[in-house]
Amino acid sequence: MRVVWAFCGVLCVCFGALGVFLPLLPTVPFMLLAAFCFARSSPQLHDWLLSHPLFGPPIMDWQERGAISRRGKIAATVSITAVFSLSLALGVPLAVLGVQAAVLAGVLTFIWSRPAS
């Protein structure tokens, strides 16, 4: 089972690393999931991820205080606004827009209710 957790962790790190370059792919949630997987598979990989200069601080902020950086909150808001605007521009059916708006509003409410790091 440790191999499965390690594989999932590596996969999450790959997706998270892509998120550094692709604005609509969230980096930190994938890194949080990777830390979760590594904690169950490999103390060395878990320690490596937490001590990584780019990925470690947001993970530590989340683990210690449930905090999301102000920059992360703004980036999430811009991304969510862009995705919803694209849906509007593409003429997505009204029922789908309603569901999308409700889900995205919930996500934004959660993000902005977290303490800032």
pLDDT tens digits, one per residue of 46-80: 999 999 998 899 999 998 999 999 988 998 899 89
Per this entry, what is the length of the chain? 117
CB atoms within 10 A of CB 54: 11
- Give the predicted TM-score (pTM) of the model: 0.76
CA distances from 13 to 73, 81, 86 (A): 21, 26, 28
> Domain spans of the chain?
2-65, 70-113
Helix (H, G, I), strand (E, B) or coil at 16: helix
